[in-house]
Chains A and B, each alone.
Chain A
Amino acid sequence: MSRVLEFDAFSYTYPGVAEPSLREVTLSVEPGEFVVVAGLSASGKSTFLRAACGLVPHFHGGSASGRVVTGGLDTRHHGPGDLAAVCGTLLQDPETQIVMGTVRSELAFPLENRGASRAAVARGVEEAALALGIARLLDRPTHELSGGELQRVALGAALAGRPKLVVLDEPTSQLDPVAGDELVWLLRRLNEEQGTAVLLAEHRLERCMAHADRVIVLEDGRVACDAPPREMLGWAAERMPALQTPAARLFARAGLRPAPTGVKEARATLRAHGLLREDQPQRAAVAPGPADRRRTGWRRSRDRGGPAALRVRGLWHELSDGPGILRGIDLEVRPGERLAVMGRNGAGKSTLLRHLAGVQEPTRGSVEAAGRVALLLQNPGDYLLHERVADEAPVEAIEAAGLAALAGRHPRDLSGGERQRLALAIVLGEGTAPAAVLLDEPTRGMDRAAKGDLIERMGELSASGAAVLVATHDAEFAAALADRVVLLADGRVIADAPAAEVLSGGWHFATETARVLAGEDPPVLGPQEGGDLLRDRMSFEVTP
């Protein structure tokens, strides 16, 4: 059977840029393969995927050499419009991938563009809707859909003509973890049941490694590794640790091989070695709530004495024609404390942060701050107004953010991590340090190296006395950053306790290490401490 994708010594340089983004890439994808594309930020993943679907070079311009053949069509002679029949493509932002007013029209649009008959369009729409579980959405206006639903509909439009290959560029980066996991499971199902080849770029490798047949790692525009997941994780341990999944890091730290591709495999290996504590009763899934505050972090933090950096009393945010978004929130955060606010979409996390920063007025209750509150919202690009990085923030703030070398660049040319550092420099400003720094979902689309930098920067701010609050879905990030976690649901605090208590013993609000080592008491959140625990246990067990 012919290959669905072939790169033959393909190199590409964007217009106006000196360095090529892809260099001599040679590889192929067989029909029905599930291939994950990995790499650090700016490694060339997006360019690679855009070359596969024909956007590079036809849409972006620039210069290319070598050859890409997608579904039997040579991209030198066929643009993305032609390739759409053999290659469905899904990009990051769901908002800009929907062009029609209703779901039915959106699914029909690519088929109509191909000149399909009315009956073929109707059948294609039905097939795509049923395959993706969006039949109930068919007559819904697209402006009413959530991000996860929009991304499913966009995937449906990409798959409406039953292409041989589907290319996805970080499709979960704008979604909450539940919607992201659902999307990856959907891809797995399409791959298993329809035999559609999948080419998926994803930062959270732990989400998709268990599904993949192969992982391609790009580094500086070149293929650095092309191997099955387990081998790739072994390679990453030696060459690119930032790409290791938490479970793989756990095993590497413990000296166990081979690296597991998921929680199930990790637990099976540990069970086989007698390293799991399964006989112990499972811990409660959720840590104590507000009613039990005397035993938990709230009381402990209050007992430290001194003024609070932030104090919230009976905070309500109620819509005039809808339910309460925040319902009687009580919260105190001490100077230097690091707090993660977690909860599913719509729980009220972002609204709480905006109230803490004084951007929104409560309908009831009060918010007191010991000083200035700096809030970094979800999209750092919203803060960027000027033509040069140097004009965006004071010199000392830019230097503190490590961006002095980029002072002459245009802010929109910065990478995602650099943009975020610049936006943080803008809100931190100069002069008096803020009493609290709030970050709303800061790790979307961020690789592990950039997350590490952010944790380090938050640590510095915390050490200087600022309270740090982060609203996040990312349990790994929360575990690495926070010493206390507040869990929100439907505008109420349902847990407020040390991170180790909240981020263990559950499924969703738990780190991968905690899920692998479920049942440990005390709970273990990070690969490092988990690896040390397993190493100790192994050395104990081999001692006569």
Chain B
Amino acid sequence: MYRHRASPLHAARAGVTALYGLALVGLALGFTHPVVLAAIAVAVLAAGWRAGVGSDLVRAARFSLFLAVTITLVNAIVVRDGLTVVWRFGEIPPFGQVDITLEALVYGALLGMRVVVIVLAFALLTACVDPDAILRAFGRRSFRSALTATLATRMVPVLARDAQRMDQAMRCRPNAEDMSTTRGRVAVVRAVASGALDRAVDVAATLELRGYATRRSAPSGPREPWSRHDVGVLAAGLALIALGVAAAITGVAAFDAYPRLHAEGGLGVIVLAVLIVAAALVPFWNRRGVER
């Protein structure tokens, strides 16, 4: 969840920080090379740590690790490509002949690693970008859709608390065991839905009272000046995008899993990895500004 903190990523305008985060997501989507993925992971974690949202990222990583392991195993079992067989399981219904290859195992692990990196980058984005500022930015095009998304996000914890309260109320009934029958469950679901509708009606009334129905567009005023953090984070985001494009064009971080593992090595990949981490940390370099 977003919470305003004293960090360059939080201080920069939301659109710029969103670009920075999406650049990291794009890099993770674009490359499978393990060194590059590792560099992106380091960059995201380091940026998250410097932005004071390290614990948010750790929580997200914990959630994604299970998914990563699952992807690794499923890929190893399901994919028949690859020439280096490391284990023969023989005939296993319904998969048929199951041979675990080194290539499928490694590629599965890299896919899992990519999922973890993407989850981390999105966690950084969520923790550092003010959703209301994004709403304002996108609101010029489709305010109602953006507001609906914001409201849905805001109401999730409220409805979760409602559901928890209702669950406790069910357990307070003398016939609590009846609630576990199908009829009882249907009644609970109906009540939960009805409660959510009540909440929705109340929120709709609030929107009316805040003048949402008669929304008028604001007159264009002077543009907000760019702060050093805006510039720094934008520069980092653009640098990450440029590195990704350059690496894709030059093929410096090419990687093939099948039929045999092949990864570009050498100085080029190392330089790319170092530059990714360095670019991601540009906003945190101590540039001008004064101590409190």
Chain A residues packing against B (C-beta within 8 Å)? 53-55, 58-59, 79-82, 84-85, 89, 91, 93, 95-102, 104-105, 109-110, 112-119, 121, 139-144, 154, 157-158, 354, 357, 359, 372, 374-379, 381-386, 412, 426-430
Does A117 lie within 8 Å of B221, measured CB to CB?
Answer: yes
Chain A: CB-nearest residue to B163: A382
With a cutoff of 8 Å between Cβ atoms, the chain B residues found around residue A115 in the complex are: 215-219
Chain B: CB-nearest residue to A78: B214
With a cutoff of 8 Å between Cβ atoms, the chain A residues found around residue B207 in the complex are: 99
Does B195 lie within 8 Å of A119, measured CB to CB?
Answer: no
Q: Knowing A113-B212, A359-B171 are in contact, say whether A101-B153 is a contact too (CB < 8 A).
A: yes
Does A114 lie within 8 Å of B195, measured CB to CB?
Answer: no
Does B209 lie within 8 Å of A84, measured CB to CB?
Answer: yes
Q: Knowing A100-B154, A143-B1, A426-B173 are in contact, say whether A377-B218 is a contact too (CB < 8 A).
A: no
State how many angstroms separate the Cβ of A506 from the closest Cβ of chain B.
31
> B206 in the interface, Cβ–Cβ < 8 Å?
yes
**Roughly how many angstroms separate A99 CA and B171 CA in the complex, as a whole number?**
31
**Roughly how many angstroms separate A372 CA and B176 CA in the complex, as a whole number?**
13
With a cutoff of 8 Å between Cβ atoms, the chain B residues found around residue A96 in the complex are: 158, 199, 202-203, 206
Q: Knowing A82-B214, A96-B203, A118-B218 are in contact, say whether A55-B168 is a contact too (CB < 8 A).
A: no
With a cutoff of 8 Å between Cβ atoms, the chain A residues found around residue B217 in the complex are: 115
Does B210 lie within 8 Å of A427, measured CB to CB?
Answer: no
Does B154 lie within 8 Å of A101, measured CB to CB?
Answer: yes
> B97 in the interface, Cβ–Cβ < 8 Å?
no
> B258 in the interface, Cβ–Cβ < 8 Å?
no
Does A359 lie within 8 Å of B218, measured CB to CB?
Answer: no
Does A59 lie within 8 Å of B168, measured CB to CB?
Answer: no
Chain B residues packing against A (C-beta within 8 Å)? 1-4, 130-133, 135-136, 147, 150-151, 153-154, 157-158, 162, 165-166, 168-169, 171-175, 187-188, 190-191, 194-195, 198-199, 202-219, 221-222, 224
With a cutoff of 8 Å between Cβ atoms, the chain A residues found around residue B147 in the complex are: 99
B208 touches which of A79, A105, A158, A359 (Cβ 8 Å): A79
Does A102 lie within 8 Å of B132, measured CB to CB?
Answer: yes
State how many angstroms separate the Cβ of A409 from the closest Cβ of chain B.
15
B188 touches which of A118, A140, A376, A385 (Cβ 8 Å): A385
Does B218 lie within 8 Å of A99, measured CB to CB?
Answer: no
Chain A: CB-nearest residue to B179: A385
B131 touches which of A58, A59, A98, A101 (Cβ 8 Å): A101
Does A382 lie within 8 Å of B166, measured CB to CB?
Answer: yes
Q: Knowing A100-B132, A101-B153, A115-B219 are in contact, say whether A140-B209 is a contact too (CB < 8 A).
A: no
State how many angstroms separate the Cβ of B259 from the closest Cβ of chain A.
49
Among B173, B209, B213, max chain A CB count under 10 A is at: B209
State how many angstroms separate the Cβ of A503 from the closest Cβ of chain B.
28
Q: Knowing A96-B202, A101-B2 are in contact, say whether A384-B154 is a contact too (CB < 8 A).
A: no
State how many angstroms separate the Cβ of A364 from the closest Cβ of chain B.
21
State how many angstroms separate the Cβ of A350 from the closest Cβ of chain B.
10
State how many angstroms separate the Cβ of A425 from the closest Cβ of chain B.
11
Q: Mind listing 19 A-B residue pairs with CB under 8 Å?
A: A80-B208, A80-B211, A81-B214, A84-B210, A84-B211, A101-B130, A110-B210, A113-B212, A114-B214, A118-B218, A139-B4, A354-B168, A359-B171, A359-B172, A377-B169, A382-B166, A384-B191, A385-B188, A429-B174
**Roughly how many angstroms separate A382 CA and B164 CA in the complex, as a whole number?**
10
With a cutoff of 8 Å between Cβ atoms, the chain A residues found around residue B209 in the complex are: 53, 55, 80, 84, 89, 91, 158
Does A382 lie within 8 Å of B169, measured CB to CB?
Answer: yes
Q: Knowing A84-B210, A144-B3 are in contact, say whether A359-B154 is a contact too (CB < 8 A).
A: no
Chain B: CB-nearest residue to A154: B206
A93 touches which of B132, B150, B202 (Cβ 8 Å): B202
Q: Knowing A79-B208, A144-B3 are in contact, say whether A99-B172 is a contact too (CB < 8 A).
A: no
**Roughly how many angstroms separate A154 CA and B169 CA in the complex, as a whole number?**
29
Closest 8 CB pairs of A and B: A115-B216, A105-B132, A81-B214, A429-B174, A96-B202, A139-B4, A382-B169, A113-B211
Does B194 lie within 8 Å of A412, measured CB to CB?
Answer: yes
Does B158 lie within 8 Å of A95, measured CB to CB?
Answer: yes
Does A81 lie within 8 Å of B208, measured CB to CB?
Answer: yes
**Roughly how many angstroms separate A139 CA and B7 CA in the complex, as a whole number?**
13
With a cutoff of 8 Å between Cβ atoms, the chain B residues found around residue A101 in the complex are: 2, 130-132, 150, 153-154
A99 touches which of B154, B175, B219 (Cβ 8 Å): B154
**Roughly how many angstroms separate A105 CA and B151 CA in the complex, as a whole number?**
13
Does B213 lie within 8 Å of A372, measured CB to CB?
Answer: no
Does B1 lie within 8 Å of A141, measured CB to CB?
Answer: yes
Q: Knowing A55-B209, A113-B210, A158-B209 are in contact, say whether A383-B169 is a contact too (CB < 8 A).
A: yes
Q: List 19 additional contacts besides A79-B214, A118-B224; criterion CB under 8 Å.
A: A53-B209, A80-B208, A80-B213, A84-B211, A96-B158, A97-B206, A99-B207, A100-B150, A100-B154, A101-B132, A101-B153, A113-B210, A113-B212, A113-B216, A144-B3, A357-B172, A382-B166, A385-B190, A385-B191
Does B173 lie within 8 Å of A427, measured CB to CB?
Answer: yes
Chain A: CB-nearest residue to B191: A385
**Roughly how many angstroms separate A109 CA and B207 CA in the complex, as a whole number?**
10
A91 touches which of B162, B187, B205 (Cβ 8 Å): B205
Does B172 lie within 8 Å of A374, measured CB to CB?
Answer: yes
**Roughly how many angstroms separate A428 CA and B198 CA in the complex, as a whole number?**
27
Chain B: CB-nearest residue to A426: B173
Does B151 lie within 8 Å of A99, measured CB to CB?
Answer: yes
State how many angstroms separate the Cβ of A153 from the closest Cβ of chain B.
12
**Roughly how many angstroms separate A412 CA and B190 CA in the complex, as a whole number?**
13
**Roughly how many angstroms separate A427 CA and B174 CA in the complex, as a whole number?**
6
**Roughly how many angstroms separate A109 CA and B224 CA in the complex, as a whole number?**
19
With a cutoff of 8 Å between Cβ atoms, the chain B residues found around residue A379 in the complex are: 165, 169
Does B219 lie within 8 Å of A143, measured CB to CB?
Answer: no
Does A110 lie within 8 Å of B211, measured CB to CB?
Answer: yes
**Roughly how many angstroms separate A80 CA and B214 CA in the complex, as a whole number?**
9
Q: Knowing A383-B173, A385-B191 are in contact, say whether A91-B132 is a contact too (CB < 8 A).
A: no
With a cutoff of 8 Å between Cβ atoms, the chain B residues found around residue A109 in the complex are: 210, 212
Does B211 lie within 8 Å of A85, measured CB to CB?
Answer: yes
State how many angstroms separate the Cβ of A470 from the closest Cβ of chain B.
15
